[in-house]
């Protein structure tokens, strides 16, 4: 009430009163994530790794293919994490977007695409038009390209993004999907989570470009639904060439697929996340973690899950953070962050190839990139 009274007195006493100044704009609401010191440290780490001249030899998993996959994954996840961080924290965008572009450039380089070329015998660009497969390259790689196009309408990667989108659409339109067969990642190898990445990239492309791939997305999602275990609701990790499950339902693939799919089918993504929490969450040494397999199901750890500790998986636990962030499950997010803060240093040491001699927020180049991408998930741009 004080301001109107002062203005009335001023107008009564002045022959020509100036127009009153407009009230100051209320401060913009800042996402709490932007003030989180751990997230800021992850963003700093991702910016660094985005520009770092990493090579496959920086990982040391014991497999040249896995080393190349992790190199690609570091740049891909750094690009997505930085793009999401720029969207949620606009004041960081001047730092995030150039680093995101540097990560995309490295992801698209021959070194970034080497894992796919190794398995198919030639880089994607040198294979015949209409060639099959490469779902990991096109799906995981297509997501940061589509995200950049959503954030920067005149994206300098638009031509590459369009080409990879068209390649995804061709693969998802394959009549074999009508029979429930997933698209291949490598010759004879089909993975639900890689198809989830492709679905997410195609859906985000449509929002950024105004195109409509609804029909092929429906077919791809139907094929994916066929890979869910009826009992647990989890996704089978891989599919045999005849369409039957090749591996058991697992946490690492289910939680990562949920993080991808919240951009394309939020209801399906939420259900995967919630069914995963229901089937896989538990307590290990006083902290919350996620199992790789449901209770009563026997299985070994591998490069996807990381070494299993009493059945609990480093990867499943980390990827569950993506669903907790995307769907606003703050209680689970806080519990999993506590697990990361207490058990992260151990995880980095026990997973072959994950640690970095040069540190970073987590002690791992891939760890920084993945955790930023998981924690900055919040709906879709």
Q: Which tens digits make up the pLDDT trace of 31-47? A: 888 999 999 999 999 99
Contact 100, 144 (CB under 8 A): yes
pLDDT band per the 50, 70, 90 thresholds, residue 362 = confident
Residue 1 has which token pair? 């009430």
Name the strand (E) or helix (H) holding 271: helix 266-280
Predicted confidence (pLDDT) per residue in 88-134, tens digit? 999 999 999 999 999 999 999 999 999 999 999 999 999 987 778 99
In sequence order, which ranges of 112-242 are alpha helices (DSSP H)? Answer: 114-120, 135-151, 158-172, 192-209, 214-225
Please give the share of the chain, as a percent, with pLDDT higher than 90.
70
Query: How many CA atoms are closer than 13 Å to the CA of 338, on its beta-carbon side?
Result: 12
So what's the pLDDT on residue 192?
97
Q: How far apart are CA 100 and CA 376, in angstroms?
A: 14
* Phi, psi at 244, each rounded to 5°: -80, 155
Percent of the residues in the chain that have a pLDDT greater than 70, as a whole number: 87
Q: Single out the residue of 109, 78, 122, 77 nearest to residue 96, CA to CA.
A: 78
Confidence (pLDDT) at 301: 87
Digit-coded pLDDT (tens) for 244-283: 999 899 999 999 999 999 999 999 999 999 999 999 999 9
Task: Give buried/exposed letters for 317-335 (b at 16+ CB in 10 A, else e).
Answer: bbbbbbbbbbbebeebbeb
Q: Which two tokens stand for residue 257?
A: 């697929």
What pLDDT does residue 43 have?
96
Tell me the C-alpha distance between 364 and 74, whole Å: 10
Contact 109, 103 (CB under 8 A): no
Domain boundaries, the chain: 125-226
**Is residue 132 within 8 Å of residue 198, measured between CB atoms?**
no
Mean pLDDT, rounded, of the chain: 88
Give the pLDDT mean for 310-320: 93
Where residue 177 falls among pLDDT bands split at 50, 70, 90? confident
Q: Which of 66-75, 194-203, 222-231, 279-288 comes out lowest in average pLDDT? A: 279-288
Residue 60 confidence (pLDDT): 82
The CA-based angle 257-260-264, given to 5 degrees, is 115
Enumerate residues 6+ apart whose C-beta is below 8 A from 252: 193, 237, 292, 304, 305, 313, 315, 316, 319
Instruction: Give the pLDDT band of residue 380 (cuts 50, 70, 90).
Output: very low
pLDDT tens-digit readout, 133-173: 999 999 999 999 999 999 999 999 999 999 999 999 999 99
Highest mean pLDDT among 267-281, 287-301, 304-318: 267-281
Whether 322 contacts 377, CB under 8 Å: yes
pLDDT in the model for residue 22: 55
pLDDT at 12: 32
Q: What is the pLDDT of residue 168?
A: 96
Higher pLDDT pick, 353 / 130: 130
pLDDT band at 213 (very low <50, low <70, confident <90, very high): very high
Q: How confident is the model at residue 302 (pLDDT cuts 50, 70, 90)?
A: confident
CA–CA separation, 104 vs 252, rounded Å? 24
């Amino acid at each position: 009430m004080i301001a109107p009274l002062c203005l009335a007195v001023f107008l009564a006493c002045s022959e020509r009163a100036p127009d009153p100044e407009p009230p100051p704009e209320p401060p913009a609401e800042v996402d709490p994530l932007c003030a989180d010191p751990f997230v800021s440290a992850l963003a700093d780490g991702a910016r660094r790794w985005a520009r770092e001249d990493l090579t496959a030899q920086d990982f040391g998993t014991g497999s040249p293919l896995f080393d190349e996959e992790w190199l690609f994954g570091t740049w891909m996840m750094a690009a997505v994490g930085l793009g999401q961080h720029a969207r949620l924290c606009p004041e960081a965008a001047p730092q995030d977007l150039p680093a995101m572009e540097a990560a995309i450039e490295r992801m698209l380089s021959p070194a970034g695409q080497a894992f796919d070329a190794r398995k198919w015998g030639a880089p994607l660009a040198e294979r015949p038009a209409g060639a099959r497969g490469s779902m990991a390259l096109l799906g995981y790689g297509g997501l940061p390209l589509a995200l950049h196009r959503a954030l920067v309408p005149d994206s300098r990667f638009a031509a590459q993004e369009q080409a990879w989108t068209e390649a995804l659409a061709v693969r998802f339109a394959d009549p074999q999907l009508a029979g429930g067969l997933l698209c291949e990642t490598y010759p004879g190898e089909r993975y639900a989570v890689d198809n989830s990445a492709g679905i997410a990239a195609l859906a985000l492309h449509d929002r950024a470009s105004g195109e409509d791939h609804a029909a092929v997305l429906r077919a791809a999602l139907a094929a994916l639904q066929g890979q869910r275990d009826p009992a647990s609701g989890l996704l089978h990790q891989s599919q045999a060439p005849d369409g039957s499950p090749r591996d058991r339902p697992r946490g690492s693939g289910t939680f990562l697929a949920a993080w991808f799919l919240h951009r394309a089918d939020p209801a399906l993504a939420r259900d995967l996340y919630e069914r995963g929490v229901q089937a896989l969450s538990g307590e290990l040494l006083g902290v919350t973690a996620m199992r790789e397999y449901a209770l009563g199901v026997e299985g070994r750890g591998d490069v996807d899950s990381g070494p299993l500790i009493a059945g609990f998986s480093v990867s499943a636990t980390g990827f569950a953070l993506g669903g907790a962030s995307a769907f606003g499950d703050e209680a689970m997010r806080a519990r999993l962050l506590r697990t990361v803060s207490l058990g992260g240093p151990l995880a980095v040491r026990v997973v072959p190839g994950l640690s970095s001699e040069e540190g970073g927020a987590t002690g791992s180049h891939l760890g920084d990139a993945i955790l930023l991408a998981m924690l900055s998930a919040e709906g879709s741009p």
